[in-house]
Amino acid sequence: MLKLYPAKTDEEVAQAATDLASDRFIGYSTWRWSDMQAKTGGKPVYRYLYARPRPAMTAAMGDAAPGLAGGVVKGGNASAMKIAPARGAVHSAEIEYAMGNLPLNKVYAWTPDDYKVSEVMQNYFANFIKTANPNGPGLPKWSAVSGDKGVEVMQIDVNTRAETEKNRARYLFLDQVSAKQ
């Protein structure tokens, strides 16, 4: 486990703990489902990692602070909770980007980059809904999952791009651990 979630400094410990918690919460199970679907489902599977963190909150939010799971904590409870800042994109943050709802959420100070990410996601999702394939004009090429080695995952962020999956060894380890339980 320590080889897959290495840490020598306090910062690395915090990142390793975040990675393990994220993998156990949703990363591993999503990988497992998509991996099995690609092998047995008979239809193309497209994997993505949403990587765009939400921007800072607007000044109108006052003393509010980001809460757990993307929520907001207002008033005196915000500082009392001492919630660590999010490391990257929180679970479900992509929903408002994919749905094009950024202007309706007055909590965050959306930037042109946020609207760019939202447009890319909306186009991928619309293409997939229409054709069962997310690819389309003006979008980075998104390959379907094929085989066990070198699986490409679309990294959705300001610089949306396909990258070879990085966490397969961690997920295979968690697969072995879950099989023993």
Segment 40-60, tens digit of pLDDT: 999 999 999 999 998 988 888
Residue 108 CA: distances (Å) to CA of 32, 65, 75, 86, 112? 33, 11, 17, 14, 13
**Mean pLDDT throughout 113-119?**
97
CA–CA separation, 143 vs 66, rounded Å?
A: 34
10-19, 42-51, 78-87, 117-126: segment of lowest average pLDDT? 78-87
DSSP state of 95: H
Residue 82 CA: distances (Å) to CA of 13, 68, 94, 150, 171? 19, 11, 25, 40, 31
Count of residues making up the chain: 181
- Please give the angle made by the CA atoms of 179, 180 and 181, to the nearest 5 degrees: 95
Letter for the amino acid at 41?
A: G
pLDDT at residue 87, rounded to an integer = 66
pLDDT at residue 122, rounded to an integer = 97
Name the residue with higher pLDDT: 93 or 156: 156
Burial class (CB in 10 A: 0-12, 13-18, 19+), 168: middle
- Which token pair is 169? 């060894």
Query: Which residues of the chain form beta strands (DSSP E)?
Result: 48-50, 65-66, 72-73, 152-156, 161-164
Name the residue with higher pLDDT: 88 or 86: 88
CA–CA separation, 179 vs 48, rounded Å?
A: 26
pLDDT at residue 68, rounded to an integer = 61
Residue 157 CA: distances (Å) to CA of 3, 50, 83, 113, 122? 28, 7, 25, 9, 13
CA–CA separation, 104 vs 98, rounded Å?
A: 13
